[in-house]
């Protein structure tokens, strides 16, 4: 019963490098989300996808792009990494945007930008 799977779990990048964080869910959920978590800041929404084929900006989208590849997969791309993007990134999914059902989270990707 995997739930939400994120890869990689850890990554170190140099400033200016690019990378893609992968996320897949096996719960047949319609909506998926990317958050970043920084000390004392809680979780901040980067991008979300209401359903396959749609994406929308969240609270802190600058410097990121996303792709909803299919219903299961939602990737987050850093085109030119900056030290300010050092953070823990979480992917989540839920049945729908307006549902009272909760979000289910992956275990996170810990990203350091040098």
Binding site for other proteins (CB under 8 A): 4, 40-43, 45, 48, 50, 58, 90, 92, 97-98, 100, 102-108
Smallest distance from the beta carbon of 80 to other proteins, in angstroms?
A: 27
Instruction: Give 59's contacts (C-beta < 8 A, 6+ positions apart).
Output: 44, 45, 46
Give least dist CB 107 to other proteins, A. Answer: 5
Min. distance of Cβ 103 from other proteins in angstroms? 6
Question: Chain-centre distance of CA 38, in angstroms?
Answer: 14
Closer to other proteins by Cβ: residue 57 or 79: 57
Q: How far is the CB of 35 from other proteins (least distance, A)?
A: 8
Contact status, residue 104 vs residue 93, Cβ threshold 8 Å:
yes
Residue 42 or 53 having the CB closest to other proteins: 42
17 or 37: whose CB is closer to other proteins?
37
Residue identified by tokens 């749609």 is 54
Rounded distance between C-alpha atoms, residue 58 and residue 85, angstroms: 15
Count the neighbouring beta carbons within 10 Å of the beta carbon of residue 2. Answer: 9
């Amino acid at each position: 019963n995997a739930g939400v799977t994120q890869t990689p779990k850890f990554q170190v990048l140099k400033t200016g490098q690019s990378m893609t964080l992968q996320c897949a869910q096996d719960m047949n959920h319609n909506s998926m989300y990317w958050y970043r978590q920084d000390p004392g800041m809680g979780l901040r929404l980067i991008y979300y996808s209401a359903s396959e084929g749609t994406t929308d900006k969240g609270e802190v989208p600058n410097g990121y792009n996303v792709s909803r590849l299919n219903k299961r997969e939602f990737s987050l791309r850093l085109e030119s990494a900056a030290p300010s993007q050092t953070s823990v990134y979480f992917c989540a999914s839920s049945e729908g945007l307006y549902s009272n059902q909760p979000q289910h989270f992956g275990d996170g990707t810990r990203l350091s930008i040098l």
